[in-house]
Structure 1
Amino acid sequence: MVGKTRDGLPLSMILFISIIALVYAVQNVMSPALERMSLYFGFGGTKKELGIVTFSFTLLSGISMVLFGYLADKVTRVRILLAGSLLYAIPSTMILLVPPGSTGYAFFFMLELTAGFGFGMVIPNIFSLIGDLVSMNDRSKGFSFFSIATLLGMAVGVGLGSAFADGDWRIAYGIIGCVGIATALMTIGISEPSRIGRDNLFLVDEKAVEYTYRIKLSDLKTIFKKRSNIWLVINFVDTIPTGIIIFLLFTYLEEEHNVDQGIGLVFLSFVLLSTLVGTIVFGYITDTLYARGKRKARVLYALMANVAPIPFVFVGLLIPFKLPDGGTVADLFMNPAAVAVLLLFVIGLFLNGATNGSWYATVVDINLPEHRGTVLSTANFFDILGKSLGPLIGSLVADAFGTLAGMAMSIIFWVFLPFFWIPVLRHVEEDMDKTKAIFEKRLGNLSRDGGS
């Protein structure tokens, strides 16, 4: 079977990464075609009606994520994954049938809400499954691909949305939906991995022993008694700086540097690529250090990753340059100041990539298998709040004081981020030891009782 913990790991991971990328593509495909969609639905080019759709999608996905994060810790996860994958993919495909006008808008709204609910079903279940499939010493690397998939999904969504923005925008949704249905059906071949985890299967007979522990409502008190959990969950602030940068980047480049949207897309591609590379590189580094017994390495690197970008982004914002009217990509790379700004942003976001895999790996390190989906979904709900606040704060400051001031708000929020990681650094080993002691005691009981 595709999902066997030992033999099927690569295929399962590829499938999970594909599904994550597709659900994030659905979330991001709208933005390049906002004006054409507004005209299609008869709104005359105004964006607020589509903003309501995006807000509703995000809100419902957050509620769904909390609900199914809890259920991921109680029931068979691959079944929820199949249902959630179909629930976002089928409505996305049906957008091909959306007619123009107000009736079409109502139909589109309903389909997007359904897809948002499916989005929330998928994310915590894949996280929980990866936690059981990836070994303890490889968690930062394993979960770095979770982060990479979200960025790839953003790129695919924006790319497809841009490709069909001047034509039939519905085709972009249809492509994602059809591929999504295919990947959803492939999950039928995944068997539920043991919650005992990849590292501990040798301690028990996998076929004879089932990990029978499941989350109870009373466990919520236990989960949030761990101080590391509290700080990891409420650290939604770390999504605000990058949210501001990505939201305002095109406007900032155009107003401050005379860089048009096409060249701005090249700039953004370098920034996203640097984040991807940083996520992979630091995933390998922190896993290597963890395997050598440095159990705080993941948290320490995440802490440093939220300090190191500050000087690079700050200096990058201060360097002046202007491209000539009608400037090209060649003009961008022939301008030393422009290249310096690009390099500073690339280095800053590369260093920030150390946060991604380390955050997910730490959630798994300090929580029992039946608690991981709940913790992740709660944290992601707060992240949704942060992702909403970033563009809001950036746009308000930009309207009041200019785009440069709006971009500078990312620096201000970055300054506060270390204060969320310092308590985790202080308490993470204590929380890991508590979890390990409980888990090893349970494994002993399961081996002795045969899983009963």
Structure 2
Amino acid sequence: MTKTKAGLNTIFTVAIFIALASLDYTVIGLFPPLFSTIASSINVHISAMGSISAITILFTALSSIAWGYLADKGNRKRLIIIGTLIWSVSLFLSSLSQSYFHLVIFQIFTGLGLGCNSTIGFSVLTDYVPKRFLGTIMSLWGLSQGFGCIAGSIMAPIVSSKFGWRMPFIIISFLGVLFIFLYFFIKEPVKGAAEPELKGIELDSYNYNISFLSIKNILTKKSNVWLMIQGFFLNITLGTLLWLPTLYASKIRAQGFSEDTSIIAASYFYALFQLGGLSSTFFGYLGDKLQKKTLRARALLTGSLIFLIIPLYISIFIIPLNNLTLPDGGGAFSILLSLFGQIIRNPWVLSIFLLSILASAAQSANIPNWLALITDVNLPEHRATSFSISNFVNGVARSSGNAFIGIVLGIISSYFDEPNNYIITMIVFQLFVIPSVIAYYKVSKNSKRDITKVRSILRKRAKNIS
């Protein structure tokens, strides 16, 4: 294969896996705007819908451990095809659900399939992307996830208003089938191909594989432990942010608008207010640059920025959407145009918009630098497994946040009406960010030693192979 052809194949493969990262988050993003519609359709209270999102996230995270271990052992291309087939079929079956029980069962299998997306995508990218660009590329991967969530939250109410809540699920399931076709044209990288310490050796001779004994080393490595703790607490909070469209819809209804208008406008608000996430690429690049000066930089940078989301999100929750002007009963496009006008003319909407840009920007620093840290502190043959275990912890936390917010909301709703019940509930869950920031400081104190050890092991292996 010529260098040009190999380069194009690499670009194609990286692009496919970056695009793939958006799909599992699109699935998750479908639910929040449709909570009330689905709940009404299958005759359950809206608070029960939090459990559906929690189940999807939990089983996605749980299955990612198995997918990660298999990815470290063997053929990742075959695995991604199997996993995508599972979630595509299950998501289509979810669209046919006639009861809460049906939806739960099909979402369990959807989650089992979705677990392959991020785990195998992470494994492939870390073997393709040179270390000096790792944070930047991982930011694009994280940005794709954010885009998927936004795309799901926008597409769901628009499509459902015309064709019902089931159609968005059908559309995404067919996109999954399209990706299965594209997978046949990707090239799987050799493990360790992006490691500078292994440069110049015949990588086909790099035959180090994970074993069950390796899992103990992964779980006892201090950097991994603190990254898991950090991810657990932060993702409890992030899991509850899926309720932002519900909060916005409640605030809009409080202004006297209809249910349909409130749902569509809330979805647009949610999408527009996530635009700060586009700065993820900058923070990934900044992490790459600062990490060259000190191996503590990524963790310290990210912890500092994550701390800022507490006051920013609390302010967003509290500020009302007063003097809101929307074409009640109008089409989705006319509502969107009206919202743009409100951002310019309405100081309440403008304030929330600016604060949301800052909050989503600060939050966006987490994914690229967290992924880069997981990569740096683990050996190539351990990375998919270490990522999947950490991702499982994150998923448990996100699903817990989704499940518990429904419980807390039920309690607080006994004392406060809408939208104050949502505001108070979501403020409470911001407190979990504090231990996450502390954990990042602990990561900064341990990562230098663990990164140095990984580099030393790789250099020794390179000498033995050559």
TM range (shorter): 0.7 to 0.9
The letter for the 2-side match of 1:408 is I
Q: How does 1:273-288 map to 2 (within 5 A)?
A: 273-275=275-277, 277-288=278-289
Q: Does 1:183 align with 2:194?
A: no
Deviation at 1:319, TM superposition (A): 4.8
Q: Within 5 Å, which residues of 2 pair with 1:155-234?
A: 155-166=150-161, 167-200=163-196, 202-206=199-203, 209-234=204-229
Aligned residues of 1:241 and 1:409 also touching (Cα < 8 A): no
1:3–1:9 CA contact under 8 A, matched in 2: no
Structure 1 residues 334 and 52 mapped into 2: Cα distance closer, same or farther (>3 Å)?
A: closer
Structure 2: how far apart are the matches of 1:32 and 1:320?
A: 20
Structure 2 match to 1:450: none
Deviations 1:289-340 (A, max 9, x none): 33x4433221121111122333433445555662257585234532224312
SS in structure 2 at match of 1:194:
coil
Distance 1:344 1:439, change over 3 A: same
CA distance in 1, matches of 2:32, 2:155: 11
Work out the number of aligned pairs and report it: 437
Could you say if the C-alpha distance between residues 334 and 85 of structure 1 is closer, same or farther in structure 2, counting changes exceeding 3 Å?
A: same
The residue matched to 1:73 in structure 2 has which SS?
A: helix
Bigger mean CA deviation after superposition, 247-256 or 59-68: 247-256
CA contact under 8 A between 2:88 and 2:110: conserved in structure 1? yes
1:301–1:355 CA contact under 8 A, matched in 2 = no
Displacement of 1:214 in angstroms is 0.9
Alpha-carbon distance in structure 2 between the residues aligned to 1:247 and 1:293: 39
Does the CA contact (< 8 Å) of 1:62 and 1:120 recur in 2?
Answer: yes
Q: 1:403 aligns with which of 413, 422, 428?
A: 422
Q: Does 1:346 align with 2:357?
A: yes
One-letter amino acid matched to 1:443: A
Alignment match, 1:61:
60
Determine the C-alpha separation between the residues in 1 that align with 2:87 and 2:170. 11
Deviations 1:45-88 (A, max 9, x none): 54577666544433332321111112211112121111111221
Distance 2:17 2:4 in 1: 10
Q: Over aligned residues, Cα RMSD in angstroms?
A: 3.0
Structure 1 residue runs of 5 or longer lacking an equivalent are 448-452
Q: Residue 423 and residue 14 in structure 1: after superposition, are their counterparts in 2 closer, same or farther (change >3 A)?
A: same
1:139-190 superposed Cα distances (whole Å, 9 cap, x missing partner): 1111112212222221222233213323243332222222211211221222
AA in 2 matched with 1:65: S
How many Å apart are 1:6 and its aligned residue? Answer: 5.0
Q: Is residue 2:266 matched to residue 1:269?
A: no
Deviations 1:119-156 (A, max 9, x none): 11232111111111111111111111221222222122
Q: Equivalent residue of 1:165, what SS?
A: helix
Distance change >3 Å, CA 250–CA 78, structure 1 → 2: same
Which SS does the other structure have where 1:164 is aligned?
Answer: helix
Distance 1:418 1:264, change over 3 A: same
**TM-score w.r.t. structure 2 length?**
0.84
Query: Counterparts of 1:73-92 in structure 2 under 5 Å?
Result: 73-92=72-91
Checking the alignment, whether the CA contact within 8 Å between 2:313 and 2:356 is kept in structure 1 is yes
Q: Distance in 2 between matches of 1:359 and 1:161?
A: 30
Which of 371, 379, 383 in structure 1 is aligned with 2:382? 371
How far 1:425 moved relative to its partner?
0.5
In 1: Cα distance, 2:294 partner to 2:222 partner: 20
